[in-house]
Amino acid sequence: MLTKPPPNRRALLRAGLAACATSLGVPALGQRAASAASGLRFGTTPVFLDDQVGFLARWSTYLSAAVGRPVEFVSRRSYRDIMGLLRTQEIEAAWICGFPWVMNQAQLRGLSIPLYQDRPLYQSYLIVPADDTRSTTLADLRGKVFAYSDPDSNSGYLVPRTTLMKAGIDPDRHFARSFYTWGHRNVVSAVAAGLAQGGAVDGYVWDTLQAVAPALISRTRVAWRSETYGFPPLAVRATLDTDTEQRLRGALLRMAEDTSGRLLLGELNLSGFGRFHPEAFASIAQLATMIGARAT
Amino acid sequence: MNPGRRAWRPGTWSYRVKVPLLITSISVVTALAISVAIALLARHWLREDLHDHATAVAQSLARGLVVHIARDDVWEAFEAVRAVAAVEGGAPRCDVVVLDRNKLVFVSSDPVRFGLRSPIAVLTEPLRRASLLSARPGNLAVGELREDGDAYAIVGMPLLSADKEVIGTLLMSYSHAIFAERYRDTIVTLTGITAGLVLLLIPFGWWLGHRVANPVARVTDALYRLGEETATRSTAYTAEAAAAPSAPPATASELDRLEHSLALLQEQLDEKEKLQRQFIAADRLAAIGRMTSGVAHEINNPLAGMLNALSNLRRDPTLLPKTVALLERGLEQIRQTLSALLIETKTSHRPLTPSDIEDLRVLVQPQSQHKRVQLVWNYPITGELAVPAAPVRQVVLNLLLNALHAAESRVEFSASTDHGCLTIRVLNDGLEFPRALRDHPFEPGVGTEGTGLGLWASHQLVGSLGGRITLSAGSGRTEFGVELPLHPLPAGALSVPADDELPA
């Protein structure tokens, strides 16, 4: 939990005087002061391997230097938790999924779309235990136990459900039981352990785990790959000042240009961070409409 | 006794072996017994530990599971039970199954065997039995089960929501095999310690046993030698006794006091032995004394004859050749007598020869002539005999003098070798040996002739040569028999007292 250092008296006095001088400047001044004091808080979600504390510390050091402000990462269990923190302005930026992006566009500004194999695209994988050599579609898993990643995940929830719906299958009745694992890596674990006979997982995460945890990956098999979707984007809350936004975007986009940045990108298994363009998520928005999701 | 068979009879073993063996065995057996006791205790503790562990795990697991079931969070529940069931990379320590309120598997530590929504029927026997444990809601029941040769600790615990509603059941089965592994480790460690201890105890026990048994063995050895070494006077014990104080301190152990009294005994025996040797030497001279009158006569007679011949020569010088011959004979007789006597007074370690027997005849001849006793000499021996000359001469002279003293008209002497044995018999036809003394004729003081020690001294000497002396008396005859083995004892054992040992 972050604790804000108490603002010193002189700063409070100055803020008070400024409030008297111009009623418009108050919220902007107050926010800027708080941000400057506590640094830039960056929320992470299981869209990438966010449980690697050592990596996050190195990335934090790199970004702090590049942005000129301390950048700290904030991890939460679910996408929803991170979205909540953005909404309550407890964090300034976050790496979220395309699905929450399309649902919460009004409160966010797009920062960057990561480039995976030089493209801002990824797929959803249907994985099954390695000893299941027959299943090739979601339809084959009828009456089985299925693991979703997160109810707000595109690849781990929206894609498999809409795929079933397009095939005329009710996803709520198709499986004997389904559950959320609150993370793509956990979906792989659940399928590898035999807890679920199928799971929907972010293809980029599964590919990356092949290098990080080959033993775990070897116990699963990719049964089906979806079409491509916009890669989970990075976004800032709409209330963040554009100066900070620009500096953060600049830092991210220039990562591929220096050695330490490239090293970090290598660890992320990404080619770089690209410009944000909202049309990349149009297909996800269609899927969201299909399941009748409403902005939260 | 066959030494091989003797080795298998512990009763015959030396205390030097038995006591160390006993102490070592007791130490080793004690070490082993303690190890076995510890092993049994360890088994008990490990089982208790397993049950305590199962209880603690079930209780801590239950709190989280209630929340996960309420939220229908399979993944969190799975992570919780999996963390309990398996060490990372290791074999499962236990099976954990959580049933929902419909008695279907909500989650299990091994989803491959017990998949989600499986009925109780697919569970293993221990888990099925755990589900039957009658526990009050919210309380946990622990049981034990034997199945297929393996033992299990089983736990059944109804899971309660905050409002005391049963929302599921936690079942656990711990195979004792996991504690068997720990038990095996404990046993291996224990075995190592015990082996080390035994390796230490064996030499220590052996050393301690020797320390305890050595004085006993020393005393035994010394006592044994006391009985055995009558000829060679061992100083085995006197050496240590000399070092011992004149009286042991009051605090001394029984063994110390025994050693001390043994030393005293040895001293007394040595004293007695010395006395005996002095007596035997004295007796030898006494026998010579007893012969003296006869010997003197033997010298005197030729001297008288020679003086007579010399006075005849003075009157008739023509008798010179006859006189010279007579003088020669007389002097030869005197020389013979004196040489026999001289040998008798000397001690030597040479073997017995026929000439020694002849000497004895020369020495007792005057006595027999004086008493007009017929001396029958039967002596078919030629060559040396493997017995020392001096003690045999002393014994035979003694017996001959006694026989001549007692004889009426006849004394017989015979000596023969037979079966490696020299047998000497001295027989007389005189006064019968007193009946009252026949049972113990060789005690000091028997007889009135000489020092009264003659027969006793003969008995001692014959005994020291490994032989025996016997008396048979009756119907007007008394016969002493001496049997001596012709395998002489070591030279030192045959020593007879030297003249300087005579009392001053």
Q: ipTM score here?
A: 0.80
Query: Do B368 and B404 contact (CB within 8 A), yes or no?
Result: yes
What counts of helices (H) and strands (E) characterise chain B? 11, 12
Rounded CA gap, B86 and B78, in Å?
12
CB within 8 Å of B120: residues ≥ 6 apart: B99, B103, B128, B131
Which chain A residue shows the shortest CA-CA distance from B114? A195
Residue B1 confidence (pLDDT) above 50:
no
Same domain assignment for residues B181 and B294: no
Q: Per-residue pLDDT tens for A244-282?
A: 999 999 999 999 999 999 999 999 999 999 999 999 999
- For chain A, count helices (H), then strands (E): 13, 11
Q: Is B89 at the interface with chain A, CB within 8 A? A: no
For residue A155, give Cα distances in angstroms to A25, A46, A122, A162, B453.
42, 12, 9, 11, 133
Whole-angstrom distance, CA of residue B243 vs CA of residue B220: 19
Which residues on A lie below 8 Å from B75 (Cβ)?
147, 179-182, 186, 190, 195
pLDDT at residue number B248: 59
Closest CA to B115 of A149, A198, A138, A172: A198
Mutate to test the interface with A, among B68, B69, B73, B75 (most CBs of A within 10 A): B75
More confident residue, B437 or B45: B45
The answer to the question of residue B30 being in a domain is yes
Over residues A118-134, the mean pLDDT reads 95
Test the A interface: residue of B102, B113, B116 with most A CBs within 10 Å: B116
Contact list in A for residue B73 (CB cut-off 8 A) is 179-180
- In A, which residues are within 8 Å of B112 by CB distance? 193-194
Q: Which residue of B has its CA nearest to A186?
A: B75
Looking at CATH, the fold of the domain delimited by A39-116+231-279 is given as D-Maltodextrin-Binding Protein; domain 2 (3.40.190)
Q: Is the same domain home to B167 and B298?
A: no
pLDDT value of position B449: 55
- Report phi then psi at A135, rounded to 5: -65, 130
Largest alpha-carbon pair distance within chain A? 73
pLDDT over 70, % of chain B:
84
Domain boundary among B186, B220, B247: B186
| pLDDT given for residue B445 in this prediction | 62
Rounded to whole angstroms, how far apart are CA atoms A89 and B67? 29
pLDDT score recorded for residue B251:
64
CB B402 within 8 A of CB B455: yes
Q: Is the pLDDT of residue B210 over 60?
A: yes
Q: What stretch of H or E contains B309?
A: helix B254-315
Q: Which residue has the tokens 């006197």?
A: B238
Query: pLDDT tens-digit profile of B95-141?
Result: 899 999 999 999 999 999 999 999 999 998 889 988 888 667 667 78
Q: Looking at per-residue confidence, does B195 or A5 come out higher? A: B195
What tens digit of pLDDT does each residue of B341-388 get? Answer: 777 666 667 788 888 888 888 888 878 888 888 888 888 888 888 888
* Residue after which a domain boundary falls, among B186, B204, B234: B186
- The pLDDT assigned to B319 comes to 81
- Res. A121 pLDDT band, cuts 50 70 90: very high
Domains A39-116+231-279 and A121-230 share a fold: yes
Does some domain include residue B310?
A: yes
Place of tokens 């020299």: B422
Computed over every residue of chain B, the mean pLDDT equals 80
Residue B75 is nearest to which of A176, A179, A194, comparing CB atoms?
A179
Chain A residues whose CB is inside 8 A of the B98 CB are none
> For A61-91, how does the pLDDT look when each residue is reduced to its tens digit (9 = 90+)?
999 999 999 999 998 888 899 999 999 999 9
Distance in Å, alpha carbon of B131 to nearest chain A alpha carbon: 21
Chain segment A230-244, per-residue pLDDT in tens: 999 999 999 999 999
In a domain, B253, yes or no: no
The residue extents of the domains of chain A are 39-116+231-279, 121-230
**In Å, how far is B106's CA from the nearest CA of chain A?**
10
Are A9 and A17 in contact by the 8 Å Cβ rule? The answer is no
Q: How confident is residue A34, by pLDDT bands cut at 50, 70 and 90?
A: very low
Query: How distant is the Cα of A94 from the closest Cα of chain B, in angstroms?
Result: 25
pLDDT tops 70 at residue A136: yes
Choice between A264 and B266, residue whose per-residue pLDDT is larger: A264
Q: What is the DSSP letter of B246?
A: S
Mean pLDDT of chain A: 87
Tell me which residue has tokens 């011959």. Answer: B325
pLDDT band at A6 (very low <50, low <70, confident <90, very high): very low
Asked whether residue B279 falls in the same domain as residue B413, the answer is yes
Asked if residue B278 and residue B168 are part of one domain, the reply reads no
CATH, residue B123: 3.30.450.20
For residue A156, give the nearest of A209, A79, A82, A219 by alpha carbon.
Answer: A79
Nearest CA in chain B to A145: B116
Total domains, chain B: 2
Question: pLDDT at position A12, please?
Answer: 46
Confirm if A41 and A31 have CB atoms less than 8 A apart. Answer: no
Indicate which of A181, A187, A195, A220 best probes the interface with B, i.e. most B CBs within 10 Å of its own CB. Answer: A195
Residue A211 has pLDDT above 60, yes or no: yes
CB A173 within 8 A of CB B94: no
CA angle B367, B370, B371 (to 5 degrees): 90
B117 and A CB contact within 8 Å:
yes
- Give domain status of residue B6, yes or no: no
What is the model's pLDDT at position A9? 47
With 0-12 / 13-18 / 19 or more C-beta atoms within 10 angstroms meaning exposed / middle / buried, residue B134 is exposed
Question: Which residue type is seen at A148?
Answer: Y
Selected from 3.40.190.10, 3.40.50.720, 2.60.40.10, 1.10.1270.20, the CATH number assigned to the domain covering A121-230 reads 3.40.190.10
Nearest residue to A238 via CA among A87, A113, A102, A99: A87
Beta carbons of A145 and B116 less than 8 Å apart:
yes
- Please tell me the distance in Å from A15's CA to the nearest CA on chain B: 46
pLDDT at A22 over 60: no
Domain boundary among B186, B203, B222: B186
- DSSP letter at B92? B
Sheet holding A220-230, edge to edge: A177-180, A145-148, A198-202, A121-129, A220-230
pLDDT at A19 > cutoff 50: no
Q: Nearest by CB to A194, from B73, B75, B111: name it.
A: B111
Given an 8 Å threshold on Cβ–Cβ distance, is A147 in contact with B107? no
Indicate the helix (H) or strand (E) that contains B480.
strand B477-485
Q: Kindly report the pTM of this predicted structure.
A: 0.59
State pLDDT tens for residues B54-67: 888 888 899 899 99
Are residues B319 and B416 both part of a single domain? yes
Confidence of residue A295 (pLDDT cuts 50, 70, 90): low
Full residue range of the structural domain in which residue B106 is found: 13-186
Predicted confidence (pLDDT) per residue in B11-50, tens digit: 778 777 888 888 889 988 998 999 999 999 988 888 888 8
What single string gives the DSSP state of each residue in B216-272?
HHHHHHHHHHHHH-SSS---HHHHHHHHS-SS--TT--HHHHHHHHHHHHHHHHHHH
How many C-beta neighbours within 10 Å does residue A31 have? 15
The token duo for B109 is 């530590």
3-state secondary structure of B48: helix
The residue ranking higher by pLDDT, A285 or B52, is A285
Which CATH number fits the domain that encloses residue B367? 3.30.565.10
